[in-house]
Amino acid sequence: MYKKKKTILIAIILVFLLTAALDNRLKIVYYKLETDKISNPLRLALITDLHSCRYGENEQKLAAAINAQKPDILMFVGDIFDDQISDANTEALLSAVAADYPCYYVTGNHEYWRGTQAFNTKMQILADYNVKRLATDTDTITINEETINICGVDDPDAYRVNNTDIQSGIASFQKQIVQLNKLNTNGNYTILLTHRPEYFQFYTKQSFDLVLCGHAHGGQWRLPGLINGIYAPNQGFLPKYAGGQYQENDTTMIVSRGLARESTRIPRIFNRPELVIIDLT
Ligand SMILES: [Fe+2]
């Protein structure tokens, strides 16, 4: 009798753990950053690595979550499209939210993986919804009486449509960042949008106040409090920048764990997809 109860208890615990581990409901993750360069609060929504995954009919679940946070600006930092999944869900999201906010975008690696024609189609969708692509560009924007700079850089995998090689892609990526950094002379709070977190040490040598990234998908499997991700592309096992807030000198980097769900072959474990909200105060 005792043995039977013990078996049932173990089974209940296992089911509970498995359900919690595989939970892929959307989570909202908040960061609060203080800076002397801003007096009125600004709220940023960081949307990344959607990979055109589905969030309800017409992406309404994700759109509603974004709207509920009342952000001032939407930052899309790459891989919002996928190379295997149709662009329809991403387009539905843009259709639902893009008209209501200033929207900025930088490319991720996956946007380049289907070749030039598919890439151009995705860029046209962004243009149709007035999402501003930053590719070695800086935009200065005033919201809530605060003026900030938003810079953006193409993903190194741009080499795939530029017909060069990976080394040229990385060199061009780094050159763009140095170029952008030189433009930042007005003293405004300056944000760099870049898909890649693994270049953190390179970013800290520039003078950006905030760097926003994705790409690492939270390291796919996590043990919160113990292991912040098992594996991330371009970082390998036990990635240093899998998700969270990183600080060095005057540069803060926030890495979103992203919104990918059914696009990944290996399930996320203890790693719910996230919408990141950043309050600048
Ligand atoms: Fe990526």
Say what the pLDDT of residue 219 is.
95
Question: In the predicted model, what is the mean pLDDT of the chain?
Answer: 95
Return residues with CB closer than 5 A to ligand 1 (ion): 79, 108-109, 215
Say what the pLDDT of residue 184 is.
83
Q: What is the distance in A from the centroid of ligand 1 to the CA of 40?
A: 33
- Over pLDDT 70: what percentage of the chain? 100
Q: What is the distance in A from the centroid of ligand 1 to the CA of 187?
A: 31
Q: What is the distance in A from the centroid of ligand 1 to the CA of 258?
A: 10
* Closest-CA residue to 109 (of 74, 76, 83, 136): 83
pTM: 0.95
Say what the pLDDT of residue 268 is.
95
Provide the CA 9 distance to its chain's centre, in angstroms.
Answer: 40
Counting Cβ atoms within 10 Å, is residue 171 exposed (0-12), middle (13-18) or buried (19+)? Answer: middle
- Every domain of the chain and the residues it spans: 30-280
Q: What is the distance in A from the centroid of ligand 1 to the CA of 79?
A: 5
Q: What is the distance in A from the centroid of ligand 1 to the CA of 216?
A: 7
Distance CA 52, CA 87 (A): 6
Distance CA 55, CA 100 (A): 19
59 near 267, Cβ under 8 Å? no
Say what the pLDDT of residue 53 is.
97
Beta bridge partners of 29: 276
Say what the pLDDT of residue 265 is.
82
Say what the pLDDT of residue 102 is.
98
Q: What is the distance in A from the centroid of ligand 1 to the CA of 233?
A: 8
- Over pLDDT 90: what percentage of the chain? 84
Q: What is the distance in A from the centroid of ligand 1 to the CA of 255?
A: 12
Residue 185 has pLDDT above 90, yes or no: no
Provide the CA 110 distance to its chain's centre, in angstroms.
Answer: 13
Q: What is the distance in A from the centroid of ligand 1 to the CA of 107?
A: 9
Provide the CA 72 distance to its chain's centre, in angstroms.
Answer: 17
pLDDT tens figures, 20-50? 889 899 999 999 999 999 999 999 999 999 9
φ, ψ at 155 (rounded to 5°): -65, 145
Counting Cβ atoms within 10 Å, is residue 247 exposed (0-12), middle (13-18) or buried (19+)? Answer: exposed
pLDDT band at 276 (very low <50, low <70, confident <90, very high): very high
Q: What is the distance in A from the centroid of ligand 1 to the CA of 157?
A: 9
Residue 1 has pLDDT above 80, yes or no: no
Distance CA 38, CA 188 (A): 9
Say what the pLDDT of residue 4 is.
86
Stretch 145-151: mean pLDDT, rounded? 95
Say what the pLDDT of residue 2 is.
78
Distance CA 276, CA 200 (A): 19
Residue 271 has pLDDT above 90, yes or no: yes
Q: What is the distance in A from the centroid of ligand 1 to the CA of 52?
A: 13
Q: What is the distance in A from the centroid of ligand 1 to the CA of 172?
A: 17
Residue 70 has pLDDT above 80, yes or no: yes
Range among 9-13, 14-18, 164-168, 240-244 with highest mean pLDDT value: 240-244
Stretch 216-241: mean pLDDT, rounded? 95
26 near 65, Cβ under 8 Å? yes
Q: What is the distance in A from the centroid of ligand 1 to the CA of 279?
A: 24
Task: Quickly list H helices, the chain.
Answer: 2-22, 60-68, 88-97, 116-128, 159-162, 166-183, 200-204
pLDDT band at 224 (very low <50, low <70, confident <90, very high): confident
Residues 6+ apart with CB under 8 A from 194: 77, 106, 152, 153, 155, 177, 203, 211, 212, 213
Q: What is the distance in A from the centroid of ligand 1 to the CA of 174?
A: 17
Residue 195 has pLDDT above 90, yes or no: yes
Other Cβ atoms closer than 10 A to 144 = 13
Q: Where are the beta strands (DSSP E) in the chain?
A: 27-33, 42-47, 73-76, 103-105, 132-133, 137-143, 146-152, 189-193, 210-213, 231-232, 236-237, 244-248, 251-255, 274-280
Q: Give domain 30-280's CATH superfamily.
A: Metallo-dependent phosphatases (3.60.21.10)
